[in-house]
Amino acid sequence: MAIAEIPSASAGRAPEPISISALNHFLYCERRAYLIHAERVFIDNEHTLLGTLAHEAVDHPGYEHRAGWELLRALPLFSDALGLTGKADLVEVRRDPATARIVETRPVEYKKGPARRWSNDHVQLCAQALCLEEMLGLPIEAGLIYHAASAKRDEVVFDLQLRTLTRDTLDALRASLARPAAPPTVLRPQCDGCSLRPVCLPEASTLRQSDLFVPRDY
């Protein structure tokens, strides 16, 4: 008699949730992402502390109206489909006055410094939008990054290119965190100001192998 195949316990199971912030860390430096999210290593420095201070205004849950927008602070986010979890610094919601239906939603990410030349902040914000789309069942076309250093907002459009990059980054991040060891250290411009530099020791990648114990002819 044939025995029916028993599906594995993981069949159809949602992917293990990953923090949205890990996408930012991964694009900034794969090794940093692994140390923080796989090995749970984190050290504060002046840059991370300034970032914490810049987030103080939006780190506590809150709700208010301003200039026709509903402001939702520290809003929890999730996506079962993508396996993402996290928190939006701020979500701005605008409703139709006649019907009270939501007509526009945009996440706002707070950053301490000026706009960067890397795409990590844009991907982090796009991931928040993907979560909101799943949670609300509404399309989100754009979001904002608020730079505390300049007190300016930059709009980020969630076009197909950015959405594809965000999903590809998530796949690469998930594969990286599943590895048994951290990626090798590499000295890069991003190492300047990185709080994990004393642990990562990127300068070690530039050292030549010592020949102290290489056999010699006497």
Q: How far is CA 201 from the centre of its chain?
A: 23
Which residue spans within the chain are E strands per DSSP? 18-19, 62-66, 69-79, 84-95, 102-111, 142-147, 152-157
DSSP H or E stretch at residue 170: helix 160-177
Of the options 3.90.320, 3.30.70, 3.40.50, 2.60.40, the CATH number for the domain spanning 18-178: 3.90.320
φ/ψ (deg, to 5) at 202: -65, -20
CA nearest to 186, candidates 166, 207, 209, 168: 207
Structure tokens at 59: 């780190």
**Given this model, what pLDDT does residue 13 score?**
66
Q: What integer pLDDT is reported at residue 150 of this predicted model?
A: 80
For every one of its 218 residues, what pLDDT tens digit does the chain have, with 9 covering 90 and above?
Answer: 333 333 333 445 667 899 999 999 999 999 889 998 998 887 665 555 555 555 555 567 778 888 889 999 999 999 999 999 999 999 999 999 999 999 999 999 988 776 766 689 999 999 999 999 999 999 999 999 998 778 889 999 999 999 999 999 999 999 999 999 988 888 888 888 787 878 877 777 666 655 555 666 65
Nearest CA among 218, 182, 188, 214 for reference residue 202: 188
Decide: pTM greater than 0.85. no
Task: Specify the pLDDT at position 8.
Answer: 36
Which pLDDT score is estimated for 218? 58
What pLDDT is recorded for position 2? 37
